[in-house]
Chain A
C-alpha cells in the first residue's frame, strides 16, 4: 500500500493518461441487453471498481511490472482503467482516454509484461470470486489490445 501511495503522475499499462472522467449514458443498457451481459457478470460499475482496486493492490506486489506505474497518478489511472473496462465489457461508459499506442509509447513493453499484467488482473478477479466465464470474457476483450500496447518504442 505504501508503494501505491508513493506513485504519482504519468502512465498506465491498460488505462489512459487523459483527464476525462467516464461518460455515463442513460438508458443504453436496456436497449443493448446482449452487449451488456459481460458488464453485468462483472458486477456492473461497482464490480468493476472493486476489480480495479483489487488489481491495484496486487499490482503493488508485482515486481516485474510495477515500475511502469512509478510516475503514474494512480487516482487518474484508476478512473481511466474503470472507464476502459466498463466500455470494453459493454457497460454504459465511453473510454475517452488516449489510445493504447499513445499511452504506452516509449515504454518498450514486452509480451512478458503484458502477460504479467493480464495475470494480475485475473488473480484480482479470482480474489473477488468473479465467475470463470466473466474472467475469460474480459480477458478476451483485452487481448486484442496486445499489439497496440507492446513495444511502442518511439517517443
Chain B
C-alpha cells in the first residue's frame, strides 16, 4: 500500500513538476544526487559534498523527498525538504519514523541540516568539491534510548565531505566518488539517542561510489561507519547497493538493498530501501 501511494506520488509529482527547459535548474541531470535518510543531499545513507537540488551558481532550487526502508524487524520512513542556494548553501529539514516491530512502537526524530560548499566543483576542474555540514537531531521518543543507556535525546553531527564526478572515467561512463568524515555520538543515527556513559564523540568514515550507466541510470555502493556506544546492544556499520533512476530533473527514484547489521539487539537487519525525490526548477 505504501509502495502504491509512493508510486502515485511519483506519477502526479512528475507531471506537476514537468518544467520547460528554461525554468529547470541548470545542473546536469543526476548531478543533484539524491537525499540521504537524514535529509541531506547525498546518497541514501551518506551525505555528499554535492549541494542538493538542481540549482546552479545563480539559481535556487528545492527537493522534496520521501523514503522507506524495510528490514527484518524495523521499518524506517523519512520525509525531507531541502533547498540549495546558488550551489553554495544547502538547508534541510527531515523527519524520521522508526517502526520497532518487536515492541510495536515508533520512534520519531527531527533533523535540521546545513551544508556549505567550501571549494571546488563536483563536475568541473581537477579538485573535488569540498563541503562542511552539520545535522542537528532531536529524538522525540527518548524512553527507549535512555533505557538502552543513551546519554541524551539530541545531538549534532558535524561532517566534511569530498565528492567528484569523473567524466568518461571507466568504459566511457561517468563515475562519482564521495567520501565523508563525520564527528558524531549518535546511536543508530540518533534513533537510539546520543552517546552513553563513558563514551566520547567519534570520527567515523563514510563513502559512496556510483557509476552512471547512461544519463538516466546509475548504480553503486555505499558504506557508513558508525560508533558503537551502547553497552547492551551492538551497533554495526551500514552498507547498501543501489540503483538510481533519473528520468528527468523533476523526479528521481533510488532503490537499494541495505544491510544495517545489528540494530537494538536484533541481528542481521537487511532489506529494501526505496526513495523518491521531487525537484523544483529554479525558484529565483
Chain A contact residues, CB within 8 Å of chain B? 61-64, 110-116, 118-119, 122, 126, 131-134, 136-137, 139-140, 143, 146-147
Contacts and interface: CB of A to CB of B under 8 A. Distances in A.
A147 B171 contact: no
Interface of B: 20-22, 26-29, 56-59, 87, 121, 123-125, 167-168, 171-174, 213-215
B172 A63 contact: no
10 contacts: A62-B21, A63-B22, A110-B56, A112-B56, A112-B58, A113-B26, A114-B124, A122-B28, A122-B215, A131-B172
A30 B173 CA distance: 26
B282 to A, nearest CB: 8
Contacts of B172: 131-134, 136-137
Contacts of B57: 110-112
Contacts of A133: 168, 171-173
Contact of B167 (A61, A113, A115, A136): A136
A143 B123 contact: yes
B22 A62 contact: yes
Contact of B22 (A64, A110, A118): A64
Given A112-B59, A122-B28, A147-B124, 16 more contacts: A64-B21, A64-B26, A111-B121, A112-B26, A114-B124, A115-B26, A115-B27, A122-B215, A126-B215, A132-B173, A133-B171, A133-B172, A133-B173, A136-B167, A139-B168, A146-B124
A136 B124 contact: no
The DSSP consensus for interface residues of chain A is helix
Contacts of A136: 167-168, 172-174
A146 B125 contact: yes
Main secondary structure of the interface of B (DSSP, over half): loop
A63 B56 CA distance: 16
A3 to B, nearest CB: 13
Contacts of B173: 132-133, 136
Contacts, number: 67
Contacts of B87: 111
A79 to B, nearest CB: 26
Contacts of A134: 172
Nearest to A108: B58
B50 to A, nearest CB: 14
B125 A111 contact: no
A134 B173 CA distance: 9
A57 B27 CA distance: 21
Contacts of B174: 136
A122 B123 CA distance: 15
A115 B28 contact: yes
A62 B168 CA distance: 26
Nearest to A134: B172
B167 A139 contact: yes
Nearest to A118: B28
Nearest to A138: B168
Nearest to A117: B26
Nearest to A126: B215
